[in-house]
Structure 1
Amino acid sequence: MPVTHFITHQINKEAQKPAAMVTTTANEAEVDDYCHLVMSQLKGTFVQRASKRYGCFNPEVTRFKGLTLNWLNDQQSFLSWTKKISEQFADMMDNTELEIDGYLAFATEELADTDKLYIFHLREKSNLCLTADMQLSESRILDFSNTGFVLCIDTSALKKEQEEGKHSEEKYFTFSFGRGDKPIQKLFSDFAGFIDTLDTEQETQEFLQIVEEYASTLPEDQSAETKTKVIEYCVEQDKQGEAVEFKTLSGQLDSSAPEKFEQFVALKKRERREVRPRSESTMNEGHNSELAQGESVIKTDLIPDRKSLKNYLRYSGKNKEVTLSFAATALGSDISFDPSENSLTIKNLPSRLLKQLKPESTSD
């Protein structure tokens, strides 16, 4: 992982106190094995989260974006930029009842096809350790499992937007809400000028409807298997932080007709009129994530919503007395639903449940 910068600044504010305190670092961290290890852990946490939102900068909120472009254009150092971001964010919390404790970690990486910027809200936790003379002592360590918000910007795409001189609504900005502290996370999202441009839940729901239509054209034994393969592939791509490419998925579903599913998805998307005008840059560059169709383009990839994927294969829910979870394939066979009565009829109960229901019977 080619990390090029890594620096942290401490930020603290108690709810009863009017001002947030920022302790800035004098120098960047050395990009060594420890730095790469921490970055790997933080990126892993970020990638596996299901609570990511995708968008771009709000054109009406220019402060954060302007400072970032100043750094990208070498008008200020990375260290100076991170200090200004930390201090200005802290200023927004002054005279509020918000509270925060921990660090803002700023990191950049250079990849083969793009450069990325990350901002992580880090927290610590207490732990015990043995000193050199074998005595117990308290220590403070980073609590990766309790990482707060994460911001990720494709800085290559941001610079391209600036060079073209027009606002882009591409998904080059990712924001992930962490555990707790929702007011703080929303404040930082607003401070950074993040706005959603992609509804992953809606797009995933549409995709799953198309999958259902595709599966209905297959023999019964292939239908369930195909749906399972689609979900498994999508979940795995989501865990790796990668988009679902319909072309790749299509080849995995049917090696004898590798374009069959891809073409079916494109056809159904056209029928739903889920298209947008082809931009000049797309016509000139032949953007590989879009399939040109006359005067319009159809998206050929998907950033999936993990919750929608899981609900597609299983129905689940609970209240104070009952917890239910069953495979979607069971509906209509072992399980039937009566919408007029809001009731389920279940046959072929698990043997373990039967033993609990009929303890006097040893034959079940």
Structure 2
Amino acid sequence: MAIKHLRTAFASQYQPGQPARLSTGEALAEPGGDYESLHKQMKRLFNSKPGKKYGRFSDDIGESPFGSWLKDYLEDKQSFSSLTDRLFGQWQELLTGCQEEFQGHLMIVHEALADAEMVYLLILETDSAMRFDGNQALDATDVLSLSRLNLAMRIELDDWLGNNSGDNYLTLLHGRGTGEPGELFIRLAGFTNQVDVEKETLTFLDAVEAFAKTSEPEKAGEVRTKAYEFCKEQHALGEPVEIGALSEYLDESAPQRFQEFAGKNTELPESGVIHPDHRKVKKLVRIAGSGGGMSVSFSSDLVNQAVYYDRDKDALTITRLPKALREQLQRYLEAREE
């Protein structure tokens, strides 16, 4: 089984200023079954979410001791049960001082895969559902949401303890609208940000664009597409982009060419690992814009083939219209004529 240990706690703060309530479950070893299924779904949500942050544990152990507690557990200086008792106790203390209402399940999972070990902290949300009880009376109940995940953190244990990727062994999901509880979750996790995702995205785009321009015109589009596909695949796996692996993917016959080019022409991280925002990387293969009641989007490969831009007139000419668009235009014009 992938899960070595798992434990959950339900915490609620309905009256700010009053002590938060906490209800903890048992510490489970290799729970299997439904727990594995639930965790796999949460991982899918975690990996698919855009805008994640990357960093390390805070050096302020007094403020955020989770990293120290986790290390003691991994070194067999305390049990998983003791680790989670401490973690849940701190979560209750933080929520007691919270000025916003909150309810949710905090789940911690120690996962061991064939090639890596990870620990996840996740806040599981609930959805309202209706059911008929044993007397066939309609009853409202809460069920775990399998489609929402706004607060979570993943710790790459091998990278952290082996220091294989510098200071970027934590991946944080901090969704919008989580308010004060979201900030308290960051304090609980002990996360401190080390990666400027926007800057690394621009570095990635500049490197790929510059490299594409060194290729033959008919090959440049292929370079951009392959770079985007690689980035998209890494995003689906919840992994950053390793420049060496991308270089090999772009040109198997010369696997070091892009890596050497990017190293000379851009400021890559010393680790050789970059964290581009896959949403913005899409600019490599699509040109899009909106404003003034208009929204236009098309593949960059269509420029000067089916889409022509006249700089002097600032005019865009589109040929080979999509069938659905052509039919809409025809119906609209016919209606106007009538």
Q: 1:335 to 1:58 in 2, by over 3 A?
A: farther
Q: Which amino acid aligns with 2:83?
A: W
Kindly report which structure 2 residues correspond to 1:305-320, keeping only aligned pairs within 5 A, or say none.
Answer: 305-318=277-290
1:96 match: secondary structure: coil
Structure 1 partner of 2:260: 266
2:98 match: secondary structure: coil
Q: What is the alpha-carbon root mean square deviation over aligned residues?
A: 3.2
Q: Which amino acid aligns with 1:41?
A: Q
Structure 1 partner of 2:235: 238
* % same residue: 25
Q: Which amino acid aligns with 1:358?
A: L
**Does the CA contact (< 8 Å) of 1:238 and 1:304 recur in 2?**
no
User: Deviations along 1:100-141, whole A, 9 cap, x unmatched?
Assistant: 111001111112343211111001112234667877654432
Structure 2 partner of 1:287: none
User: In 2, distance between residues paired with 1:273 and 1:137?
Assistant: 59
User: In 1, distance between residues paired with 2:6 and 2:136?
Assistant: 33
1:146 match: secondary structure: coil
Matched, 1:302 2:274: yes
1:347 match: secondary structure: strand
Q: Which amino acid aligns with 1:5?
A: H
How far apart are 1:267 and its partner, in Å?
A: 2.9
TM-score by length of 2: 0.83
Matched, 1:184 2:212: no
How far apart are 1:42 and its partner, in Å?
A: 0.9
Name segments (4+ residues, structure 1) moved above 6 Å.
132-135
Kindly report which structure 2 residues correspond to 1:307-346, keeping only aligned pairs within 5 A, or say none.
Answer: 307-318=279-290, 321-329=293-301, 334=307, 336=309, 345-346=315-316
Structure 2 partner of 1:359: 334
**Does the CA contact (< 8 Å) of 2:203 and 2:267 recur in 1?**
no
Which residue of the other structure, out of 96, 121, 141, is the alignment partner of 1:94?
A: 96
Q: 1:95 to 1:107 in 2, by over 3 A?
A: closer
User: Deviations along 1:13-32, whole A, 9 cap, x unmatched?
Assistant: 12545332111224437612
User: In 2, distance between residues paired with 1:258 and 1:182?
Assistant: 49
2:121 match: secondary structure: strand
Q: Which amino acid aligns with 2:4?
A: T
2:318 match: secondary structure: coil
Kindly report which structure 2 residues correspond to 1:198-237, keeping only aligned pairs within 5 A, or say none.
Answer: 198-237=195-234
**Does the CA contact (< 8 Å) of 2:247 and 2:259 recur in 1?**
no
Structure 2 partner of 1:2: 2
**Does the CA contact (< 8 Å) of 1:169 and 1:197 recur in 2?**
no
**Does the CA contact (< 8 Å) of 1:201 and 1:308 recur in 2?**
no
User: Any gaps of 5 or more consecutive residues in structure 2?
Assistant: none
How far apart are 1:179 and its partner, in Å?
A: 5.7
TM-score by length of 1: 0.78
Query: Alignment length, in residue pairs?
Result: 329
Structure 1 partner of 2:24: 24
User: Any gaps of 5 or more consecutive residues in structure 1?
Assistant: 162-167, 277-289, 291-298
1:189 match: secondary structure: helix
**Does the CA contact (< 8 Å) of 1:107 and 1:117 recur in 2?**
yes
User: In 1, distance between residues paired with 2:119 and 2:227?
Assistant: 31
Structure 2 partner of 1:78: 80
